[in-house]
Structure 1
Amino acid sequence: MRILEKSPCAFLSNCEIWRVRPDTIDTELQIFIVGPEGSWPEETRFGVTFATDAEQFGNMVPNMVRTLTTFGDVYPSYTVSIGYAPTSAQAYSVQRTRDLTPTEWPAYSAFFTEALNEPTVLPTGKALDFLNFIIDELQPELNAAYPINLQDSTLVGHDLGGLFTLFAFLNRPEAFQNYLAISPALWWAESALINLAQDTTASTLSPKSKLYLCAGALEAQHPTKSLVSALPEDLQAKLPQGILRPDIAGHIHRLEAALAPWKTQGLTLHTATIPNETQGSVIGSGLSQGLRALNSLTEIYGG
């Protein structure tokens, strides 16, 4: 990874923005690194929360962590939000769909390509490359530059980011100790990740990790249908099934069942359906409840 530029952040204190060029991903990324406020002994090392989709969460995650820290709900920590450089040739939606999905889905690629009127088929299923970048390239650079403790780390994501968080948990669980998946897009590729969970728990021992899964109780009122209705009818017909009204809560229950063998081996798992929240509004409450739960899951939620 090459660090192309480091600059201060204009909208958050104790914040630095890195523009980087990964060795294994053909794009430029923008990393928002926010440290805890206040004065601390020089030898202090802090936990760190990694979040996908800095375009959405560049402000939200660090502000939530700071608010919870102020009121004594969580320990002070660093936050690292990963997004795409504004100079990137492709749109944010295109790049996140490529990098956060663990499985290629040709039917979705075809629909997505036509919907965006792209000249070439848009790729999907590159989550492993993105995960390897975070673990093998980004984490060592951050560890050298900041007083962080990578043995006290959390990965957070929503929607496709939640799907990516779960993929990371199943694929390289040792890289983070805590995982927070908010409204994960488990509908992706006909629930391929749930199948992966079943295979993984049957063939490997559980990591000593904490996983918090949540969704909004009102997610059945999914806004995608109204958005898709604006598309031409022939294009609507090409949309893969399961996207218009995904059963997020049902998928989470299925995933919980798939992970059941690991709960007897060391996995600490909590799932929640949060009342009165939609797919979008659940982000804030999911962050608040999930970050608190992962700091002290047994004390707050009774295991």
Structure 2
Amino acid sequence: MLRTLALAAAALLVPLAGPAAEPATLPGMEERALVSREGLAYRIFIAVPQAPPPPNGYPVAYVLDGNAVFGTLADLARGQTRSQGGLMEPAVLVAIGYPGDAPINMPRRARDLTPAPATPEKGAWTYLTPEGTGGASAFLAFIEDELKPAIAAHFPVDPARQALMGHSFGGLFTLHVLFTRPSAFGTYVAASPSLWWADGAIAREEAAFAAHPPRGAQRRLLLTVGAYEQELHPGLRTRADAEAVARKLADRRMVDGARDLAARLAAIPGQPVDVAFTVLPGQTHGSAAPHALLLGLETFLGPAASQARQ
């Protein structure tokens, strides 16, 4: 038996015969380069359903940190559509990423996804600098004035059915858009939003939103957080810096902060936002992302979304 296993393992090391390897591709997925009016380059990942569009066009989900999440999210969405035996409507996925192959481009996303702090001298309560952050409003302008028109010019999409989804700083940006330009999207998915950033800079925007809630159609917000984003996961307690990490998690109050935010938004008179709050059991900040984004797609495209429109 040992000899058989050894021979099988050796066979795996033999180079495959045939032509040189090519990058793997999946049906309906493409990438386009886009340079903003400010001269910033983006990688735009797009997944288009194989099913024909409905009369008003496909719904569209815009997803942040495209380099990190597009492949997983697009493949999950493709497998969960009704034509594949799933429960979700077909939709166009547009994931916004950055040049290069790194899953996370921290300098670029820090600039794009963080709102301006209340006072520059406070900066961003982290290792980032004020000069490299605070560009959320400019990034939103890029999405609204440049990216959305480009997508609409190339694909049959429904402008009335659009969602924005983001994790961490992306979740923070998602809330920034909801609070400052709520009509931009109908559904918002804020996964593990960095509410702590810049000593809670997003709280100013929340307060202005609550004081003057938008009229018209109710917006939907899915707010998620991992159960182990406020306390250290048992599997990480052997880390050399476990005590310092545990203190940082406790200080940032990711779970309590998200829960409190959901309660405040649900209590706004007139209920301009339909809020759903979910704690993802067993998940840390990083591992919560794919779970939250899949749940976000289900919220946007699943049976409950169809019933809400009826």
Shift of 1:62: 1.2
Indicate which of 58, 62, 77 corresponds to 1:65.
Answer: 77
Cα deviation code 1:187-210 (max 9, x no counterpart): 111122133212221123355211
Match of 1:63, SS? Answer: helix
Partner of residue 36, structure 1? 49
Partner of residue 166, structure 2? 157
Paired with 2:115 and 2:240, the residues of 1 have a C-alpha distance of 24
CA contact (8 A) 2:232 2:249 kept: no
Change (3 A) 1:12 1:76: same
Gaps of 5+ in 2: 1-22
Partner of residue 155, structure 2? 146
Paired with 2:240 and 2:262, the residues of 1 have a C-alpha distance of 30
Paired with 1:257 and 1:98, the residues of 2 have a C-alpha distance of 29
Shift of 1:297: 4.2
Shift of 1:78: 0.6
Identity of aligned pairs, percent?
28
1:217 aligns with 2:232: no
Which stretch of the first structure deviates more once superposed, 285-294 or 212-221?
285-294
1:17 aligns with 2:31: yes
CA contact (8 A) 2:125 2:199 kept: no
Partner of residue 269, structure 1? 275
Paired with 2:191 and 2:125, the residues of 1 have a C-alpha distance of 27
Paired with 2:238 and 2:25, the residues of 1 have a C-alpha distance of 34
Cα deviation code 1:195-232 (max 9, x no counterpart): 321222112335521100011112224589999959xx
What are the residue-to-residue correspondences of 1:109-188 with 2, within 5 Å? 112=127, 122-188=131-197
Paired with 2:28 and 2:187, the residues of 1 have a C-alpha distance of 24
Q: TM-score, normalised by structure 1?
A: 0.79
1:255 aligns with 2:268: no
1:101 aligns with 2:109: no
Shift of 1:79: 0.3
Q: Which amino acid aligns with 1:101?
A: T
Cα deviation code 1:106-130 (max 9, x no counterpart): 555596369xxxxxx7511100100
Change (3 A) 1:214 1:79: same
Shift of 1:173: 1.2
CA contact (8 A) 1:156 1:181 kept: yes
Q: Between Structure 1 and Structure 2, whose CA radius of gyration is higher?
A: 2
Shift of 1:288: 2.6
Paired with 1:27 and 1:227, the residues of 2 have a C-alpha distance of 38
CA contact (8 A) 2:49 2:78 kept: yes
Count matched residues.
275
